[in-house]
Amino acid sequence: MKQFLLFISLAMFSLAQTPVTVAIRNAKLVTISGPVIAKGTVVLRNGLIEEASENATVPDGAWVIEGDGLTVYPGLIDSISNIGIAPPAPTGPVTGAITATALAPPAPPARGPEDRPRTTSWERAADKFRSNDPRIESARNAGFTSAVIFPTTGIFAGQGAVVNLAGDNPSKMIIESPAGQYMTLTGGGGAGGARGFPSSGMGVYAYVRQIFIDLDYYERTKAAYQANPSGKQRPAYDRALEGVKESGRLLMPATSKVEMERVIKLASELKMPFVLYGVHEGYRAASVLKQANASVLISAKWPTRPPTADPEAEEPLRTLELRESAASTPVTLNKEGVKFAFYSDGQTPAEFLKGVRLAVTRGLSHDDAVKAMTLSAAEIHGVSNRLGSIEKGKIANLVVTKGDLLTEKPAIQYVFVDGMHYVPTADGAPTPTAPQGTGRRPR
Amino acid sequence: MRFALLLLASAATYAETIFIQNATVYTVTKGTFKGSVLIEDGKIKQVGQNLAAPSGARIVDAAGMHLSPGIIDAHSHIAAGAGGINEGSVSVSSMVRIEDFVDPESVAIYRALAGGVTSANILHGSANAIGGQNRLIKMRWGKTGVEMLFDGGPPSIKFALGENPKRSGNPTPAPGGPTTVARYPATRMGVEDIYRQAFTEAKEYQKAWVDFKSGKSTVEPRRDLRLEPLVEIMEGKRLVHCHAYRGDEMLMMMRVAEEFGFRIATFQHVQEGYKIAKEMVEHGVGGSGFSDWWAYKMEVVDGIPYNMALMTSKGVMAAVNSDDAGLMRRLNTEAAKTMKYGGLTEDQALALITINPARHMKVDDRIGSIEVGKDADLVIWNKPPLSSYAVPQKVYIDGSLYFDRDTDVSSRIAKEARKKALEEKAKAQQIPPQPKKDSAPQGGPQSDEVR
């Protein structure tokens, strides 16, 4: 009821005035990039953070939020997501484009690396991003103001994009594109190779190696041709190689320590920056990651016994150990100085944050956990000059709470994306008919 | 840089000087006697009947015990399952490497170690005429995948003849998947053709590089990971271990290899080796097979347990292998069977699982017998190693103790307790499903899911 009144009053306020500038005064500022400011003011103007300090001046005409009892965090970032580029699993009518894909005839089985199997490295999440995914609003309600979205099917699945989670024009929501190449490394070409090369993990590794050898060769022959095409054979255009080259960074899966060692070894041959994702057994592999100077994205979907598992089935000690200790990975990596960020791994925002809170119960500090969803995420994805902390000049993505953000029921008061104010709707409230704009305060 | 660090790390484990005394020493190549072995820096420093322990050495008294070289399994597929073993989609999969997927935490390694195996050649599967690249490892349990790799000897590759590479069901259609295009070949003739095609292509590739490097051609060839290993084979830099059962197809393989100027290193399984021993000796190919495992399919119907003894008597370098994680743990008794079937001597039988497989892989300067200067890969048995009562007590690799039966037995209690504790903790955390008070009824089967 109280929330409802607040909502009404804000809505009325928005009708009355449309301030360009917002100032949150005398609030606790968890800047992440620097020390916590116990009582400070943050000024937002034109979608950017204009000022954030103990004694920032409140500009004339600003909408002033009295920050007593409020805590301001940078907006949270989900480091791997498919929000806006894939329909939420069971709900909603499927769009025409996706139906067409589903009905497309299967490609003939690949006969070798030359056929560029399971490769869509040129596809960009930014080009597929739609602003009408209802999950955008529910993520924002939970404090997520950005996501790094990827196509996820294939060995070279495609290029990611960093997007802001508010707006109705997808082009304006893109912060960075491309942002890395999402890779999978499992065989899975069908039993006995029915779906062609590669059918095994070894085949995938061989393919990845050949792609980078081909890329090197491609670039050199292309450069030589461009320098002097006369009398030379024209090199063929290869979109698979162009796509890999453009992405600039590889996201490679590794859950167990052995996989981490294996993937790091492969990645070190490829001469392209890499980030590992998954990393549940990181609690055992901190020194491996540290030595490789690897940054990692930790899935906050901790391993659990599958609900369909036979209750009588005995499990190996190793499996039990992983389940017991996976959530200790963040605190272990933090101590070792390995850079990490969290990602939702297909979970709802509530489930995602629950997973992060479990890591906090294992000893990760509250603010370090927030850092792994803000500044560290921005650093790993190459956007820390724009996102991830409360700093002058950065994009005005903020979450304002009463009390800590990482509690079971965080009291989120305000969410700002690009300096625009969004009122979080009550958890579990029905999705509004108009997917965005609800509760939104235009400047 | 990484490699240097690795060497440094393993050098540190060599520090201990060990003196194993009062053992019955089975050198395999230089007789059997009661005596001692001195290990220094991971190598066998001295072997003899009247050695004195140097001061500062750790003394291991093996009175009543038996000391043999570590067992070498020339044909295994353990610890590489995550990589798939077979890249079955194509008939020439020479670009894939077992090495990428050596899983140092596969318990099969530890179990093989407990059976006295210290080295194993992890082979690609037999789904293709030309398979992937094999990898010789040492069972350095507790080390990383890279640290398990054996640092000597030439690399090798898998070939396969007969039913596995030819069968028309290869690749097997995926249920509900896209229409399968049957992989060529479907006959033994086709398998032969695959070799001719592949090596003809490899020859052209080899020439393109020679021409480019000599300046005869200005066009730089594209590096091809599939053809590179085939060039290495023709240049004698990569060994071929070829899965084969029937005599006729082994003869074909030797002819084709000779046509392209290389030799097959071993036939694996080699069930009809006894029929073509003379030709095998002429070609210089070894025979690595089972002791008495045959008739599990039509092409293996002519296998006999005398195969090893007959090949040995004709001068074929023969070895007994496992091809199986279970059999691998008792290769000593597998080798012992050749004493019953064919009357091999004790040394000959032991050689089948030690020095002979080492020769097959051209690492006999490093492992396979108890000789001065070789790697200290040793097994202390409670009974003579070829006895069916023999159980390894201690297994050393590079002079480091990697398996100790006493430690194993005593550590089981702690492991059991830990497992029980974790199981009970998990049980305690399993809250019985309850409908949430504040959640709207959903009615579906998911509503009882605990969030």
> Quick check: A193 and B127 CB within 8 A?
yes
pLDDT (0 to 100) of residue A425: 72
The minimal CB distance from A190 to the residues B85, B97, B177 is found for B177
Question: Tens digits of per-residue pLDDT, B161-177?
Answer: 999 998 766 666 655 55
A264 or B178, which is more confident: A264
The strand pairing partners of A250, in sequence order, are A181, A274
Side-chain-side CA neighbours of A181 within 13 Å: the count stands at 28
Q: Report chain A residues whose CB lies below 8 A from the CB of B174.
A: 190-192, 194-195
Long-range contacts of A261-264, Cβ-Cβ distance < 8 Å, separation of 24 or more = A261/A285, A261/A288, A261/B144, A261/B145, A261/B146, A262/B100, A262/B101, A262/B145, A263/A185, A264/A288, A264/A289, A264/A292, A264/A294
Lookup: tokens for B243: 């899965």
A193 to chain B, any CB pair closer than 8 A? The answer is: yes
CA nearest neighbour of B38 among B306, B386, B372, B304: B372
- List C-alpha distances in Å: A330 to A225, A239, A258, A279, A368: 49, 37, 18, 10, 9
Q: What is the DSSP letter of B134?
A: -
Question: Tens digits of per-residue pLDDT, A201-235?
Answer: 999 999 999 999 999 999 999 999 999 999 998 99
CA nearest neighbour of A48 among A378, A386, A439: A386
Beta strand extents in A322-410 (DSSP E only): 340-343, 398-402
Lookup: tokens for B284: 């210089």
pLDDT (0 to 100) of residue B177: 54
Question: Tens digits of per-residue pLDDT, B224-249?
Answer: 999 999 999 999 999 999 999 999 99
Kindly state the average pLDDT of the residues B61-88: 96
pLDDT (0 to 100) of residue A16: 30
CATH superfamily of the domain spanning B71-365: Metal-dependent hydrolases (3.20.20.140)
Kindly state the average pLDDT of the residues B312-335: 97
pLDDT (0 to 100) of residue B15: 67
Kindly state the average pLDDT of the residues A175-198: 83
Lookup: tokens for B133: 């690249």
Q: What is the CA radius of gyration of chain B?
A: 25
The minimal CB distance from A198 to the residues B87, B177, B451 is found for B87
* Beta pairing class for A70-74 and A21-29: parallel
- Can you tell me the distance from the alpha carbon of A240 to that of A246, in angstroms, rounded to the nearest whole number? 10
Element (H, E) at A28: strand A21-29
pLDDT, mean over chain B: 91
pLDDT (0 to 100) of residue B411: 96
> Quick check: A257 and B105 CB within 8 A?
yes
pLDDT (0 to 100) of residue A304: 93
CA nearest neighbour of A338 among A273, A281, A294, A373: A294
Test mutation, B2, B3, B89, B96, chain A, max A CBs within 10 A:
B89
The minimal CB distance from A192 to the residues B96, B171, B449 is found for B171
The strand pairing partners of A23, in sequence order, are A43, A64
* pLDDT reading at B441 higher than 50: no
Q: HEC profile for A137-158?
A: HHHHHCCEEEEEECCCCCCEEE
Question: Tens digits of per-residue pLDDT, B246-286?
Answer: 999 999 999 999 999 999 999 999 999 999 999 999 999 99
* pLDDT reading at B14 higher than 60: no
Kindly state the average pLDDT of the residues B359-382: 98
* pLDDT reading at A92 higher than 50: no
The minimal CB distance from A202 to the residues B100, B173, B183 is found for B100
Q: Report chain A residues whose CB lies below 8 A from the CB of B439.
A: 428
**Residue B428's pLDDT band (boundaries 50, 70, 90)?**
confident
Residue A307: closest CA among chain B residues belongs to which residue?
B449
Q: Report chain A residues whose CB lies below 8 A from the CB of B169.
A: 192
pLDDT, mean over chain A: 88
CA nearest neighbour of A112 among B349, B222, B407, B19: B222
Task: Report the share of chain B in percent with pLDDT over 90.
Answer: 85
pLDDT (0 to 100) of residue A60: 92
Residues 200-239 of A with CB under 8 A from B: 200-203, 205-206, 209-210, 213-214, 217, 220-221
The minimal CB distance from A192 to the residues B88, B415, B449 is found for B88
- Can you tell me the distance from the alpha carbon of B112 to that of B325, in angstroms, rounded to the nearest whole number? 7
pLDDT (0 to 100) of residue B178: 53
pLDDT (0 to 100) of residue A313: 87
Test mutation, B3, B95, B148, chain A, max A CBs within 10 A:
B95
pLDDT (0 to 100) of residue A97: 45
Residue-range domain boundaries for chain B: 13-70+368-427, 71-365
* pLDDT reading at A431 higher than 50: no
Test mutation, A103, A199, A255, A269, chain B, max B CBs within 10 A:
A199
A194 to chain B, any CB pair closer than 8 A? The answer is: yes
- Can you tell me the distance from the alpha carbon of A90 to that of A197, in angstroms, rounded to the nearest whole number? 31
CB pairs under 8 A between A and B: 163
- Can you tell me the distance from the alpha carbon of A94 to that of B24, in angstroms, rounded to the nearest whole number? 76
Residues 409-428 of B with CB under 8 A from A: 415, 418-419, 422-423, 425-426
* pLDDT reading at A316 higher than 50: yes
Lookup: tokens for A416: 């700002």
Q: Report chain A residues whose CB lies below 8 A from the CB of B85.
A: 200
pLDDT (0 to 100) of residue A196: 86
pLDDT (0 to 100) of residue B249: 97
- Can you tell me the distance from the alpha carbon of B44 to that of B373, in angstroms, rounded to the nearest whole number? 5
Residues 309-338 of A with CB under 8 A from B: 315, 317-318, 320-321, 323-324
pLDDT (0 to 100) of residue B313: 97
pLDDT (0 to 100) of residue B174: 58
Lookup: tokens for B159: 């070939």
Lookup: tokens for B26: 């089975």
**Residue B183's pLDDT band (boundaries 50, 70, 90)?**
confident
pLDDT (0 to 100) of residue A279: 98
pLDDT (0 to 100) of residue A187: 79
Q: Report chain A residues whose CB lies below 8 A from the CB of B84.
A: 187, 199-203
Q: What's at B266, amino acid-wise?
A: T
pLDDT (0 to 100) of residue B450: 32
Q: Report chain A residues whose CB lies below 8 A from the CB of B175.
A: 191
CB atoms within 10 A of CB A214: 21
pLDDT (0 to 100) of residue A171: 95
Q: What is the dihedral of CA B234, B212, B228, A212, to 10 degrees?
A: 180
Phi and psi angles of residue A336, each rounded to the nearest 5 degrees, phi first: -80, -15
Beta strand extents in B94-188 (DSSP E only): 117-122, 130-133, 135-138, 156-160
Q: What is the CA radius of gyration of chain A?
A: 23
Side-chain-side CA neighbours of A33 within 13 Å: the count stands at 17
Q: Report chain B residues whose CB lies below 8 A from the CB of A313.
A: none
Question: Tens digits of per-residue pLDDT, A321-379?
Answer: 999 999 999 999 999 999 999 999 999 999 999 999 999 999 999 999 999 999 999 99
The minimal CB distance from A194 to the residues B82, B172, B439 is found for B172
**Residue A3's pLDDT band (boundaries 50, 70, 90)?**
very low
Kindly state the average pLDDT of the residues B208-232: 97
Test mutation, A184, A200, A213, A284, chain B, max B CBs within 10 A:
A200
- Can you tell me the distance from the alpha carbon of B224 to that of B165, in angstroms, rounded to the nearest whole number? 23
Q: Report chain B residues whose CB lies below 8 A from the CB of A197.
A: 87, 89-90
> Quick check: A428 and B440 CB within 8 A?
yes
* pLDDT reading at A437 higher than 50: no
Instruction: Tell the CATH topology of A76-387.
Output: TIM Barrel (3.20.20)
Do the beta carbons of residue B195 and residue B91 sit within 8 Å?
Answer: no
Lookup: tokens for A399: 């979450």
Phi and psi angles of residue B359, each rounded to the nearest 5 degrees, phi first: -65, -40
Do the beta carbons of residue B90 and residue B136 sit within 8 Å?
Answer: no
**Residue B288's pLDDT band (boundaries 50, 70, 90)?**
very high
A413 or A95, which is more confident: A413
> Quick check: B127 and A192 CB within 8 A?
yes
Three-state secondary-structure class, residue B154: coil
Nearest chain A Cα distance for residue B427, angstroms: 10
Kindly state the average pLDDT of the residues B319-324: 97
Three-state secondary-structure class, residue A309: coil
Kindly state the average pLDDT of the residues A309-324: 91
> Quick check: A200 and B87 CB within 8 A?
yes
Do the beta carbons of residue A34 and residue A374 sit within 8 Å?
Answer: no
CB atoms within 10 A of CB A211: 22
- What class, spelled out in words, does domain B13-70+368-427 have in CATH? mainly beta
Residue-range domain boundaries for chain A: 1-74+388-426+434-443, 76-387
Question: What burial class does residue A149 get, using C-beta atoms within 10 Å of its C-beta: 0-12 exposed, 13-18 middle, 19+ buried?
Answer: buried
By mean pLDDT, which of A41-45, A208-212, A284-288, B84-88 is the weakest? B84-88
Nearest chain A Cα distance for residue B242, angstroms: 19
Q: Report chain A residues whose CB lies below 8 A from the CB of B96.
A: 198, 200, 202-203, 205-206
pLDDT (0 to 100) of residue A423: 82
**Residue A29's pLDDT band (boundaries 50, 70, 90)?**
very high
B236 to chain A, any CB pair closer than 8 A? The answer is: no
Question: Tens digits of per-residue pLDDT, A242-256?
Answer: 999 999 999 999 999
pLDDT (0 to 100) of residue A95: 47
Nearest chain A Cα distance for residue B92, angstroms: 10
CB atoms within 10 A of CB B326: 11
Element (H, E) at A412: strand A411-417
Query: DSSP of A68-96, one letter per residue?
Result: TTEEEEEPEEEEEE-TTTS--SS-SPPPH
Q: Report chain B residues whose CB lies below 8 A from the CB of A306.
A: none
CA angle, B281 as apex, B280 and B287 as ends, to 5°?
55
> Quick check: B84 and A262 CB within 8 A?
no
Residues 109-148 of B with CB under 8 A from A: 124, 127, 132, 144-146
Lookup: tokens for B336: 């012992």
The strand pairing partners of B47, in sequence order, are B37
Kindly state the average pLDDT of the residues B9-28: 81
> Quick check: B222 and A428 CB within 8 A?
no
**Residue A44's pLDDT band (boundaries 50, 70, 90)?**
very high
Lookup: tokens for B250: 């082994």
> Quick check: B180 and A109 CB within 8 A?
yes
Nearest chain A Cα distance for residue B223, angstroms: 7
Q: Report chain B residues whose CB lies below 8 A from the CB of A198.
A: 87, 89, 96
The minimal CB distance from B144 to the residues A112, A261, A350 is found for A261
CA nearest neighbour of B332 among B148, B70, B138, B100: B70
CATH superfamily of the domain spanning A1-74+388-426+434-443: Urease, subunit C, domain 1 (2.30.40.10)
Test mutation, A91, A202, A241, chain B, max B CBs within 10 A:
A202
**Residue B5's pLDDT band (boundaries 50, 70, 90)?**
very low
Q: What is the DSSP letter of B24?
A: E
Test mutation, B87, B122, B126, chain A, max A CBs within 10 A:
B87
The answer, yes or no, to whether ipTM is higher than 0.90 is: yes
* Beta pairing class for A250-254 and B266-269: unpaired
